[in-house]
Amino acid sequence: MISVMETPLACVENAPSISRQGNDVVLHLSESWSLQELFTSIGQLNALQKLYLTGCSSLRELPSFIGHFNTLQKFHLLECSSLQKLPTSIGQLNVLQEFHLIGCSSLQELPTSIGQLNALQNLHLTKCLSLRELPTSIGQLNALQNFHLIGCSSLQELPTSIGQLNALQNFHLTGCSSLRELPTSIGQLNALQNFHLTGCSSLRELPTSIGQLNALQNLHLTGCSNLRELPTSIGQLNALQNLHLNDCSSLQALPTSIGQLSALQNLHLHDCSHLQELPTSIGQLNALQNLHLNNCSSVQELPTSIGQLNALQNLHLNGCSSLQELPTSIGQLNALQNLHLNDCSSLQGLPTSIGELSALQSLHLLGCWGLQELRTSIGHLNAL
């Protein structure tokens, strides 16, 4: 790849000089703060494959000739903070595979024609602070595999048509703090493997249809501070390997159906300060290797069934300040290698059965001020 042009602030009044190498043509306008419109001569770049506009903070709109770039594969608009709209002609970019809109804080909407981008695989909308909704036509993007909505804090809802994105594999919703709910149609995303909801602080619940995501392997719910419960249907996620529920401070319980997650390997519950207990069904997670309950300050006890986690290698209970004891069944965790109990300030003792943890390699007990003595059985931990 050859970069055709780097245009600094001092050069924006002059038509750019262009160099080429075969058919691989790249145009990069960087930090052109006073640039209010694109040069007409740019429209003559018939072989343009990649277009990057970075830091063009005075650019308010794009010319309609943008749609004439029949060979354009990548289009990045970075920190074009005055850009208010995109031309309808953008839907004519028939081979466009990657479209990034980052820091376009004045952009209020996307044109309906965006649904005509038949080759689009990656759509990233980051810090588009004024974007309130997505067009219904977004569901027509049949080739879309990766969709990132990051820091779009004015976005209140997603269109129902989003369920039509049959090729979508990765869906990230980060910092969409006004998003109140997900459409039921989200369950139709048959190819979805990774679903991240981070900092969606207005989201109160997940639709029941989420249990229909048969290909889902990773579900991350981080900083969803108003999320109070998970739907029972979550137990239907047969391919789910990683479930992260971090900083979901309103979450009080997990559904019993969580025990049906037969492929689950990692369960992380960090800073879920209102979570009071784990369901007995947790013991049915036969594939679970890592269970992290860090800073779950309201958890007072663990279910006896936890001893049934035959594949569990790492159990982290750091900062569980209300945890008073461990169940005797913990000695049945034959695969357990690491047990972390730092800052469990209410923990009064360890069960004698802890000496049966034959695979245990590390035991952390820092800040366990209520722990008065260690069982003599701890001497049986030969791998420690």
The answer to whether 71 touches 48, Cβ cutoff 8 Å, is yes
What b/e sequence results for 183-192 when a residue is b if at least 16 CB atoms lie within 10 Å of its CB, and e otherwise?
Answer: bebbbbbeeb
pLDDT of residue 23: 57
**Residue type at position 177:** S
Q: How far apart are the first and last CA of the chain?
A: 54
Q: What number of other Cβ atoms are within 10 A of residue 339's Cβ?
A: 24
pLDDT of residue 24: 60
pLDDT of residue 261: 98
The mean pLDDT of 8-13, rounded to a whole number, is 37
Tell how far CA 77 is from the center of its chain.
Answer: 22
pLDDT of residue 382: 75
Backbone angles phi, psi at 111, to 5 degrees: -70, 150
The answer to whether 54 touches 76, Cβ cutoff 8 Å, is yes
Length of the chain: 384
- Spatial separation of the C-alpha atoms in residues 16 and 336, rounded to whole Å: 64
pLDDT for 7 beyond 70: no
- Strands (E) in the chain, as ranges, are 3-7, 25-30, 48-54, 74-78, 98-102, 122-126, 146-150, 170-174, 194-198, 218-222, 242-246, 266-268, 290-292, 314-316, 338-340, 362-364
Domains and CATH numbers, the chain: 1-157+165-181 (3.80.10.10)
DSSP state of 144: -
The answer to whether 212 touches 234, Cβ cutoff 8 Å, is no
Q: What is the DSSP string of 192-260?
A: --EEEEES-TT-----GGGGG-TT--EEEEES-TT-----GGGGG-TT--EEEEES-TT-----GGGGG
- Of 228, 229, 173, the closest CA to residue 200 belongs to 173
The answer to whether 235 touches 257, Cβ cutoff 8 Å, is yes
Which tens digit of pLDDT belongs to each residue from 197-254? 999 999 999 999 999 999 999 999 999 999 999 999 999 999 999 999 999 999 999 9
Mean pLDDT, the chain, integer: 90
Which tens digit of pLDDT belongs to each residue from 128-146? 999 999 999 999 999 999 9
Share of the chain above pLDDT 90, in %: 79
The mean pLDDT of 38-67, rounded to a whole number, is 86
Q: What number of other Cβ atoms are within 10 A of residue 369's Cβ?
A: 10
- Of 327, 353, 241, 245, the closest CA to residue 289 belongs to 241
Q: What is the DSSP string of 74-101?
A: EEEEES-TT-----GGGGG-TT--EEEE
- Spatial separation of the C-alpha atoms in residues 147 and 163, rounded to whole Å: 13
Q: How confident is the model at residue 101 (pLDDT cuts 50, 70, 90)?
A: very high
- Strands (E) in 247-360, as ranges, are 266-268, 290-292, 314-316, 338-340
